[in-house]
Amino acid sequence: MAENTSADEPVAKKSKLKLFVLLGFLILLAVGLAVAGALWFMNGSLLGMGGAETADEQAKEPEFLPSVYLDLEEPLLTTVQAEGRQRYAQIHMSLEAESQAVLDAAEVHLPLLRSQLIQLLGSRSFDSLRAPGGREELAQAMTDKVNELLANENAAAIRQVLFSNFVVQ
């Protein structure tokens, strides 16, 4: 019996060694798959496989350009066209541009801009200003008017006119 037990011990050591090697391989495989999965989800593709987008397509993405703003401290206040009653419109607004130089040019011509924008606002009807798309149309018309006036003065264009407060009564 003593001989039989000594012969079984080397076989048990070899099977434990195989078990540890197999477990180590499985653990390394699981870690490798987890890392590859994480890279695939974060980048959209594995390294070396290339993504759906090529380098040219990635280069064509628009670059983020920060905006600068000029807040018109005094609101635009005027009467608007209405049937049978006198109505008022008051707008607090800001100008958005790509650079401070554009806003500096707009600030130089601010009295002219305010006058033209008040005339534009006064030419609108009360009902059109209350309509769902009326504010967007007015903002676009004001942007176009400001850009037209700045172009006449050889200045660059603004991006858009923004309303911070819009009251019609």
88 and 105 housed in the same domain: yes
pLDDT-derived band at 168, boundaries 50, 70, 90: very high
81 and 150 housed in the same domain: yes
Concatenate the DSSP letters of all residues of 130-167 into one string: HSTTHHHHHHHHHHHHHHHHHHHTT-PPPSEEEEEEEE
pTM: 0.61
Domain assignment of residue 75, given as a range: 68-168
CA distance 146 to 148: 5
Q: Which residue has the higher pLDDT, 148 or 16?
A: 148
Q: φ and ψ at 151, to 5 degrees?
A: -65, -35
40 and 115 housed in the same domain: no
Q: What is the pLDDT of residues 18-70, one digit of tens each?
A: 888 999 999 999 999 998 888 877 776 555 555 555 556 656 777 777 899 99
Q: What is the CATH number of the domain that holds 95?
A: 3.30.479.30
